[in-house]
Amino acid sequence: MAPRHSRPLIVALLYLALRRLLELLALLLRSDQAKEIEILVLRHQLAVLRCQVARPQLRPTDRALLAALSRVLPRHRWPTFFVQPETLLAWHRRLVARRWTYSNGPGRPRTRDRIRELVKRLAEENPTWGYRRIAGEIRRLGIGIAPSTVWSILKDAGIDPAPRRAGMSWTGTAFLRTHAQSILACDFFTVETAFLRRIYALFFVELQTRRVHIVGTTANPTGDWATQHARNLTMTLAQNRDRFRFLVHDRDAKFSGSFDAVFEAEGMKVIRTPIRAPTANAIAERWIGTVRRECLDRMLILSRGHLEATLRDYTKHFNGHRPHQALGMQAPAPRTTRLGVPGKDPPYIHRRDVLGGLIHEYEIAA
């Protein structure tokens, strides 16, 4: 039985063949002289059309008829066609292929989505694992899968092979995830007061917990000023002295040799970021953007004392209340709060204003 999509073509071919048959019967009743004259006229018209039409537009029925006639016409007469012989043969092969088209079976079933997600998860969480290692781990879990299937899944997902995705760089997250608990970063940022006075603020951030420490503000930052505040910070972090092993900062001249010596004396290694590479200290740069968007860009700072009070209140909110995406929507140092009971009516919510209502904090009322 012919496929449904070929039925209109068959009907058109039958109609066209009937028309040509009637024309042939009418042609047999005519004299040979009239036929030869008509052939000359048709040949001349065809030559004129070839000069005017660069590429004729043929319908499927036209291709089918010309391909069928080419099997009857002698090969040495094929130059009468306005297409190449290769084109006629290709049309004929296409007709044969349509004639012997059968519905394909279901074939090999596609790998289940849960297995595909598991393969991608193992590849992302283990950059050094190749497709054979991933296939072995999945088989150990009791799921049969071939290494070639793992390779195809990783290729379709655009995941590079193990040697390419296993490398580390400053801009990658693998290095930070591996050493975040032992890294401390610092930087300066500036604030313009309402009276056009520029004030500098020095802060430190713990990369693992995202906890921020504002250590001081000044209008005239110097290397000695930064060194003194570095000493104050080391005394504040005395209990966590053994936890931090690295300090990251840029090549600002205010981070002098004496500044670095304070942390080197505590057993920390100072890492200076490359020139004009803010992504090398991305978490500190991100915090600067956060404090500007949520606080400093929405109010006028009058003096250095006003700035210190503002940063103190905002830092308390940032460390103790503000949810952070990298911490599972938890605060860096969350305060103890009451939690609601799932399935019960929402309790009464109390709002606490921070910075005069610029920021709101919400918690369950006692």
Quick one: pLDDT band at residue 119, thresholds 50, 70, 90? confident
| Range with lowest mean pLDDT among 25-29, 263-267, 293-297 | 25-29
Q: Is the pLDDT of residue 219 over 90?
A: yes
| Range with lowest mean pLDDT among 198-207, 268-277, 304-313 | 268-277
Q: Is the pLDDT of residue 293 over 70?
A: yes
pLDDT in tens, 235-259: 887 766 567 888 999 999 999 999 9
Specify the 3-state DSSP secondary structure of 63. Answer: helix
Q: What are the residue ranges of helices labelled H in the chain? A: 7-28, 32-52, 60-70, 85-99, 113-125, 131-140, 147-156, 162-165, 174-179, 223-236, 257-264, 282-294, 304-320
Measured from the Cβ of residue 114, the count of other Cβ atoms closer than 10 Å reads 9
For residues 207-223, average pLDDT: 91
Q: What percent of the chain has pLDDT over 70?
A: 67
Which residue type occupies 16?
A: L
For residues 348-353, average pLDDT: 79
Least Cα distance to 317 among 357, 364, 366, 365 occurs for 357
Q: Is the pLDDT of residue 149 over 80?
A: yes
Q: What is the pLDDT of residue 278?
A: 81
Cβ contacts of 237-242, under 8 Å, gap ≥ 24: 241/266, 241/267, 242/267
The answer to whether 304 touches 312, Cβ cutoff 8 Å, is no
| Domain residue ranges in the chain | 4-99, 113-165, 175-327
Q: Is the pLDDT of residue 69 over 50?
A: yes
For residues 56-82, average pLDDT: 67
Q: What is the pLDDT of residue 358?
A: 85
Q: What is the pLDDT of residue 170?
A: 45
Q: What is the pLDDT of residue 40?
A: 67
Specify the 3-state DSSP secondary structure of 247. Answer: strand
Residue of higher predicted confidence among 40 and 186: 186
Quick one: pLDDT band at residue 308, thresholds 50, 70, 90? very high
d(CA 156, CA 363): 46
Mean pLDDT taken over the chain:
78
Q: What is the pLDDT of residue 172?
A: 46
Q: Is the pLDDT of residue 110 over 70?
A: yes
Residue of higher predicted confidence among 98 and 321: 321
The answer to whether 222 touches 255, Cβ cutoff 8 Å, is no
For residues 338-354, average pLDDT: 65
The answer to whether 62 touches 37, Cβ cutoff 8 Å, is no
Q: What is the pLDDT of residue 221?
A: 93
Task: Please name the fold of domain 175-327.
Answer: Nucleotidyltransferase; domain 5 (3.30.420)
The top-scoring range by mean pLDDT among 6-15, 35-44, 160-169, 221-230 is 221-230
Q: What is the pLDDT of residue 346?
A: 54
d(CA 245, CA 266): 9
Residue of higher predicted confidence among 335 and 319: 319
Q: What is the pLDDT of residue 162?
A: 66
For residues 83-111, average pLDDT: 66
The answer to whether 226 touches 254, Cβ cutoff 8 Å, is yes
d(CA 229, CA 308): 15
Q: How are beta strands 359-364 and 349-354 bridged, if at all?
A: antiparallel
